[in-house]
Amino acid sequence: MGVSVDLNADLGEGFGRWSLGDDDALLAVVTSANVACGFHAGDPTIMRRVCERAVANGVAIGAQVGYPDLAGFGRRFIDIDADELADAVLYQIGALHAFARAAGGEVSYVKPHGALYNTIVHHEVQAQAVVDGVARFAQRMPVLALPTSAFLRLARASGLRPFPEAFADRAYRADGSLVPRSEAGAVIHDPAAVVARAVEMAVTGRVTADDGTVVDVSPVSICVHGDTPGAVELATQVRRALTAAGATVAAFTR
Amino acid sequence: MGVSVDLNADLGEGFGRWSLGDDDALLAVVTSANVACGFHAGDPTIMRRVCERAVANGVAIGAQVGYPDLAGFGRRFIDIDADELADAVLYQIGALHAFARAAGGEVSYVKPHGALYNTIVHHEVQAQAVVDGVARFAQRMPVLALPTSAFLRLARASGLRPFPEAFADRAYRADGSLVPRSEAGAVIHDPAAVVARAVEMAVTGRVTADDGTVVDVSPVSICVHGDTPGAVELATQVRRALTAAGATVAAFTR
Amino acid sequence: MGVSVDLNADLGEGFGRWSLGDDDALLAVVTSANVACGFHAGDPTIMRRVCERAVANGVAIGAQVGYPDLAGFGRRFIDIDADELADAVLYQIGALHAFARAAGGEVSYVKPHGALYNTIVHHEVQAQAVVDGVARFAQRMPVLALPTSAFLRLARASGLRPFPEAFADRAYRADGSLVPRSEAGAVIHDPAAVVARAVEMAVTGRVTADDGTVVDVSPVSICVHGDTPGAVELATQVRRALTAAGATVAAFTR
Amino acid sequence: MGVSVDLNADLGEGFGRWSLGDDDALLAVVTSANVACGFHAGDPTIMRRVCERAVANGVAIGAQVGYPDLAGFGRRFIDIDADELADAVLYQIGALHAFARAAGGEVSYVKPHGALYNTIVHHEVQAQAVVDGVARFAQRMPVLALPTSAFLRLARASGLRPFPEAFADRAYRADGSLVPRSEAGAVIHDPAAVVARAVEMAVTGRVTADDGTVVDVSPVSICVHGDTPGAVELATQVRRALTAAGATVAAFTR
């Protein structure tokens, strides 16, 4: 019997007149959609459309919560108070859930975005604040993040359901953390290598780190991108290769 | 057996560092709180606090939905597309509902704010858009507005539950519409007169218009204000006078 | 001796992570850049880059002022008070001027954007408010708009320097106004026809209206677009055709 | 001959419907107004009014530049890129300058606000970015900040004119830095003590630190506050006491 793996991607990251990535094409490839909720990207109309299309395609809807920073696309660390961060998280989930429900679906998981995602790998106070915001929405809500993050650890301790993801196009350290983007070799650009790593991660649960060590990352989901040229094509290849390797590609929240 | 009437007021209309009105004092007086949802006023932390306090005080929580216009406090007409308006309404209700639910309550009605409130008295397209946004959240949601408004008429036709409100401090025309604020005498400043009109409206369902005609407004709720000096004191007097006149002051959604 | 005509286009209309159109390519074609100032589009970094590139290319910098409405891209009418509109206009010009000056240039004209542009064709109060805002920056500032607009008329009366522009890809009425976009035939899609109209407008000052009448529009500038596929190529063709017809293509503020 | 000292305060820190502090009262007391520029507080209409009133009262206008964060009132550190910060600073100064000039004045100095003010005490990259943004507006612009800050040091090195300020209501360390607000005793609440410290700072240039050491802070300006109850009265007392002690109270940029 084969393994099952999820493919997740960031979606609905336009704003008003501005679009980003090809949401419709990506929704035909992924099994989980991290939908921006209006704080760092996304607006009500975009959220409605992505939710409708996701439900039509059988794609799970996740709340891609971020810092309140449209100008910075949520990519700048903000030293926000824990209470305000928890409230911002709850607000975003609630707003998205209204669209998910109107489309016949629901918010079935939460995945933090950008600088918030990176911050709560190590920032205990903000990590706990995100946990608190999510838990106020639903005490057993699944959350998706790096396996080595403080966030996943605190999520588990608070009763949320933590799920680890992996990046097929990022280099790893021997301790399971990502090589920072500021370092050479942090991002893997060769499509064939990306596809091969996705299959390795999904089938074996392991990935080869930058020092040659084999690390166990056991992802339930692999993150693919949609906002660069060729990204949708690459995601499509990843999906095909996973299927060819005997893996079932399905939402991790099923 | 006496009549029952609701007192509603706008609450949570601060933003970040800025506050407006005395939310806590007003929550001890009113029975329904129109809570701003972050588009024209309000922010996640303010929304949480008002919801928690409202639930503690047994005050019903309503979504005070507005145009996306913090700089204008939702007081400027915006010629927004119907789809975008409906989506903006649904977004705001969803966000507030998350806080209401986390506090142990729920969004039990919707009341449009400011320029949106005034526009949908007559603007059929925007009125229907608000109806559509509300109905996508809950098909039988109560909505509170002027009895003469296109909005209440369309709400009824769409299956929402329309409830008329009245203003004790505003002059009325013989047709039941409000005298525009731009005209002299539009706002009644004498506290004793405001209190007397509130009782008249609640007990008889009628109010004397500016031409002496007696108009039937049959309000289920009377709107009081909290953002001017003496406003909370006046609201308190209105509540006392209603009780003294034999009226039960209770949320209209009960 | 040949005529001289300006080519203007909207530029710098991205925001943060989002871009719109190919600013660099367009800056190699046009002679006047209408630079968004951060209220409906544009941000400080985009403004700096466009100003630097415009100065390097000898392109005149104009302030593309709009309603405060990022979510609506300035395309929704807002019923803003005259004072607030004048202040919003002055704010935007001042901000852009700082970047223009730092780049070695200056704001040499003002062109309203989107719904504001359309509104002040007929809305006298808002038209005068824009005039007032511009005049507080510089009493003799050139402004670019439709020849039939209340704005240009009031600008002239207030001492500003009014300049009429024309649209090579829009159908005209016999009275010199544009056929509204909501009507069939409002936009001319055939590139050859657009190029021919641009030459006709520039060389003769006239254009054939939708009823066959020949209308005098006498533009000092022709507006081209950059935010649709093929737009830069079309603008390039327009410029070549104008030059081939003997026209000098140069900034109207020279 | 007596010393001369400036009194500066934050002004124009409302936004739209929301006001903060009593700008008019404070403008009758201070000699330099740090005017918010719309990024963390302030809007075009508020900026115009404060500039008009400041010029009428002979109060110098300074640009109170902040992080782009209305929701956080500029009080949250944002890890913004140096280029974007420099551009944000230039944008804000340019916008304010348009209002100052229209009122018959000018932006005569720059004082960073809130979290930005605190960050550039030690954050060299952001400090240099603010310096760069200011210098692009005017190479010899005066800047007002803490004497121990990296910002003032880098400002001097870049050709700006650095001016040190002091806080009469804050406790100092022996090294001239402020006791952090998180520590007990950081803020001095006794009005008589605040007045006495202001006089000591102005007349002797020194202040007694929390360990009893006497520190030289040599302020050209003393910062007073206007957004708390009694603040304007306290500022008035400080001014009277300075005058009574023989100090001339005048803008430091004179």
Burial of B139 (0-12, 13-18, 19+ CB in 10 A): exposed
C101 → chain D, closest CA residue: D137
pLDDT of C139 above 60:
yes
Give the closest-approach CA distance of B28 to chain D in angstroms: 24
D43, B73: Cβ pair inside 8 Å? no
pLDDT of A1 above 80:
no
Q: How far is the C-alpha of B164 from the C-alpha of B219, rounded, in Å? A: 5
A94, B90: Cβ pair inside 8 Å? no
Collapsing DSSP states into helix, strand and coil, what is residue D167? strand
Residue A229 pLDDT level (bands cut at 50, 70, 90): confident
Contacts of A44 in chain C (CB under 8 A): none
Using a cut of 0.95, tell me whether the model's pTM lies above it: yes
B90, A96: Cβ pair inside 8 Å? no
pLDDT of D235 above 90:
yes
Amino acid identity, residue C176? G
Collapsing DSSP states into helix, strand and coil, what is residue A96? helix
The residues near A64 (Cβ < 8 Å, ≥ 6 apart) are: A10, A11, A12, A34, A35, A36, A37, A42, A111, A112, A113
Contact B206, B249 (CB under 8 A): no
Between D226 and B58, residue with greater pLDDT: B58
Mean pLDDT, chain A, rounded, equals 96
E strand map for A153-194:
161-167
Return the sign of the alpha-carbon dihedral for residues C11, C17, C18, C23. Answer: positive
Chains that touch C (3 or more CB pairs under 8 A): A, B, D
Token pair 């006298």 in the structure block, residue: C124
Collapsing DSSP states into helix, strand and coil, what is residue B141? coil
Chains that touch B (3 or more CB pairs under 8 A): A, C, D
Q: What is the dihedral of CA A121, A122, A124, A129, to 10 degrees?
A: -30
Give the closest-approach CA distance of D126 to chain A in angstroms: 14
pLDDT of C184 above 80:
yes
Contact D40, D15 (CB under 8 A): no
Give the closest-approach CA distance of B239 to chain C in angstroms: 36
Give the closest-approach CA distance of C14 to chain D in angstroms: 15
Q: How far is the C-alpha of B251 from the C-alpha of B30, rounded, in Å? A: 8
Residue of C47, A24, A70 whose CA lies nearest to B68: A70
Q: How far is the C-alpha of D249 from the C-alpha of D4, rounded, in Å? A: 6
The residues near B244 (Cβ < 8 Å, ≥ 6 apart) are: none
What's the Rg (C-alpha) of chain C? Answer: 17
What pLDDT does D40 receive? 98
B71, D43: Cβ pair inside 8 Å? yes
Please give the helix or strand (H or E) that residue B251 lies within, else none.
Answer: none
Nearest by CB to residue B80, choosing from C68, C72, C80, is: C72
What pLDDT does A53 receive? 98
Give the closest-approach CA distance of C243 to chain B in angstroms: 41
What pLDDT does B216 receive? 94
B18 → chain D, closest CA residue: D18
Return the sign of the alpha-carbon dihedral for residues B133, A40, A137, B52. Answer: negative
ipTM value, please give it.
0.96
Token pair 């081939």 in the structure block, residue: C244
pLDDT-above-90 percentage for chain C:
94
pLDDT of A22 above 90:
yes
**Between vectors from CA C91 to CA C88 and to CA C93, what angle results, nearest 5°?**
110
Please give the helix or strand (H or E) that residue B31 lies within, else none.
Answer: none
Q: Is C252 on the interface with A (CB under 8 A)?
A: no
* Phi/psi at B97 (5° precision): -60, -35
What pLDDT does B55 receive? 98
Q: How far is the C-alpha of D226 from the C-alpha of D27, rounded, in Å? A: 10
Q: What is the DSSP letter of A60?
A: E
Return the sign of the alpha-carbon dihedral for residues B51, B52, B56, B57. Answer: negative
C15, A71: Cβ pair inside 8 Å? yes
* Phi/psi at D158 (5° precision): -95, 0
Contact B5, B248 (CB under 8 A): yes
Contact D65, D94 (CB under 8 A): no
A78, D76: Cβ pair inside 8 Å? yes
Q: Is B30 on the interface with D (CB under 8 A)?
A: no
Chain B residues 52-81 within an 8 A CB cutoff of chain D: 70-73, 75
Contact A29, A236 (CB under 8 A): yes
Q: What is the dihedral of CA D176, D177, D180, D186, to 10 degrees?
A: 20
Burial of C189 (0-12, 13-18, 19+ CB in 10 A): exposed
HSE-up (13 A, CA, CB side) for residue D8? 33
B17, D43: Cβ pair inside 8 Å? no
Residue D1 pLDDT level (bands cut at 50, 70, 90): low
C45, D87: Cβ pair inside 8 Å? yes
**What does DSSP say about strands B142-145 and B161-167: parallel, antiparallel, or unpaired?**
parallel
Residue A18 pLDDT level (bands cut at 50, 70, 90): very high
pLDDT of A2 above 80:
no
Contact A73, A10 (CB under 8 A): no
Token pair 């009418």 in the structure block, residue: C77
Structure tokens at D175: 């090294």
Q: How far is the C-alpha of D236 from the C-alpha of D242, rounded, in Å? A: 10
pLDDT of A228 above 90:
no
What's the Rg (C-alpha) of chain D? Answer: 17
B94, A90: Cβ pair inside 8 Å? no
B78, C80: Cβ pair inside 8 Å? no
Nearest by CB to residue D71, choosing from A68, A76, A77, is: A68
Q: How far is the C-alpha of B208 from the C-alpha of C135, rounded, in Å? A: 49
Q: Is C47 on the interface with D (CB under 8 A)?
A: yes
Average pLDDT in the C132-154 region? 97
Average pLDDT in the C1-23 region? 93
Structure tokens at D50: 């404060």
Contact A172, A210 (CB under 8 A): yes
Q: Is A191 on the interface with B (CB under 8 A)?
A: no
Nearest by CB to residue D77, choosing from A69, A79, A84, is: A79
Chains that touch D (3 or more CB pairs under 8 A): A, B, C
Q: Is D138 on the interface with C (CB under 8 A)?
A: no
Lowest mean pLDDT among A132-141, B202-211, C92-101, D175-184: D175-184
Residue of A39, A148, A145, A44 whose CA lies nearest to A85: A39
Contacts of B72 in chain C (CB under 8 A): 68, 78, 80, 84
A14, C18: Cβ pair inside 8 Å? yes
D78, A76: Cβ pair inside 8 Å? yes
Neighbours of D66 (CB within 10 A): 29
Contact A190, A133 (CB under 8 A): no
Contact D99, C94 (CB under 8 A): yes
Q: Is C129 on the interface with B (CB under 8 A)?
A: no
Cα distances (Å, whole numbers) of residue A125 to A81, A144, A156, A165, B8: 9, 18, 15, 22, 38
Cα distances (Å, whole numbers) of residue B211 to B46, B165, B193: 42, 21, 17
Residue of C72, C60, C69, C149 whose CA lies nearest to C110: C60
pLDDT of D199 above 90:
yes
C47, C87, C106: best to mutate for the D interface, most D CBs within 10 A: C87
**What does DSSP say about strands A161-167 and A142-145: parallel, antiparallel, or unpaired?**
parallel
Amino acid identity, residue D231? A
What pLDDT does A38 receive? 98
Neighbours of A169 (CB within 10 A): 22
Contacts of B88 in chain A (CB under 8 A): 44
Question: pLDDT (tens digit, 9 = 90+) per residue, D63-103?
Answer: 999 999 999 999 999 999 999 999 999 999 999 999 999 99
Mean pLDDT, chain C, rounded, equals 96
Structure tokens at A166: 């992996």
Q: Is B41 on the interface with D (CB under 8 A)?
A: yes
Question: pLDDT (tens digit, 9 = 90+) per residue, D124-176?
Answer: 999 999 999 999 999 999 999 999 999 999 999 999 999 999 999 999 999 99
C78, B79: Cβ pair inside 8 Å? yes
Structure tokens at A121: 């790998």
Contact C54, C35 (CB under 8 A): yes
Residue C34 pLDDT level (bands cut at 50, 70, 90): very high
* Phi/psi at D186 (5° precision): -65, -35
Q: How far is the C-alpha of C29 from the C-alpha of C222, rounded, in Å? A: 12
A73, C15: Cβ pair inside 8 Å? no
SS3 readout for chain C:
CCCEEEEEEEECCCECCECCCCHHHHHCCCCEEEEECCCCCCCHHHHHHHHHHHHHHCCEEEEECCCCCCCCCCCCCECCCHHHHHHHHHHHHHHHHHHHHHCCCCEEEECCCHHHHHHCCCCHHHHHHHHHHHHHHCCCCEEEECCCCHHHHHHHHCCCEEEEEEECCECECCCCCECCCCCCCCECCCHHHHHHHHHHHHHHCEEECCCCCEEECCCCEEEECCCCCCHHHHHHHHHHHHHHCCCEECCCCC
pLDDT-above-90 percentage for chain A:
94
B132 → chain A, closest CA residue: A102
Cα distances (Å, whole numbers) of residue C208 to B70, C175, C216: 45, 11, 9
A41 → chain C, closest CA residue: C17
